[in-house]
Amino acid sequence: MLDDSEVRRVLVIAAHPDDVDFGSAGTIARWTDAGIDVTYCIVTDGDAGGYDESVPRPDMARLRRAEQTEAAKRVGVHDLRFLGYPDGRVEATLGLRKDLARVIRQVRPDRVVCPSPDRNYARLGASHPDHRAVGSAALDAVYPDARNPFAFGELVAEEGLRPWTVREVWVSASPAAAHYVDVTDTFDRKIAALRAHESQTGHMTDLEQLLRGWASHTAAEGGLGEGRLAEMFQVLDTG
């Protein structure tokens, strides 16, 4: 596994606004604090989200982009790419693979974070169909698409985007997660990021308690000690 000192750029790929913050915001805050450049690629605008049925769906999409942009700032991220796919209808198509390969070649990250393509029966909410589709497409974009000059050749011929090999992938919400990151010192910023998603979390009076419980359980599972908080990932060597 790469040491963070070897990592200059990280690309975080997620299905919806707020997915990043529920799964990885504490870890991302650690990376930005260490001087690592982090970019978000959000596949949908989350237009099927929220709890207020009076909000028109196009308005919800705009609102959620704004919320994600503010949430990102709270953990030190300022580069966001929104692909605009329809919320709730994402499939791991060649088109999505090409779009993700394009972003990988633009950002040229050492490390990619993405959702798991596998259903997690212990955490059903983490296995939203969009999450699994994005995870599958992201891994295919990492290997073989982004590194192969003959995959989506128009990315080179028409856009000048040379192939790029991602050295490592961190998979969030994976049933095989075995790497634990201590986020005790950045947990408050994770909560602040999630509170920026007011359309999704504004009604959750127990948000911090809920997240603290999850993070405490994860830290205990990873053997990090009493009172610690953690996020967990499956780490893949893709170099």
Q: What is the pLDDT of residue 59?
A: 86
Look-up of token digits 């704004």: 66
Q: How crowded is residue 187: how many other Cβ atoms within 10 Å of its Cβ?
A: 22
Q: What is the pLDDT of residue 126?
A: 79
Q: Quickly count helices (H) and strands (E) in the chain.
A: 8, 7
Q: Tens digit of pLDDT for each residue in 128-163?
A: 999 999 999 999 999 999 999 999 999 999 999 999
pLDDT at 10 over 90: yes
Q: At 60, list the tokens.
A: 């919800």
Q: Tens digit of pLDDT for each residue in 82-134?
A: 999 999 999 999 999 999 999 999 999 999 999 999 998 887 777 899 999 99
pTM: 0.96
Contact status, residue 25 vs residue 75, Cβ threshold 8 Å: yes
Its domain, for residue 64, covers 4-237
For range 18-46, the mean pLDDT: 97
Q: What angle is formed at CA 64 by the lines to CA 141 and CA 204, rounded to 5 degrees?
A: 110
Return the CATH number at 149.
3.40.50.10320
Q: How confident is the model at residue 211 (pLDDT cuts 50, 70, 90)?
A: very high
Count of domains observed in the chain: 1
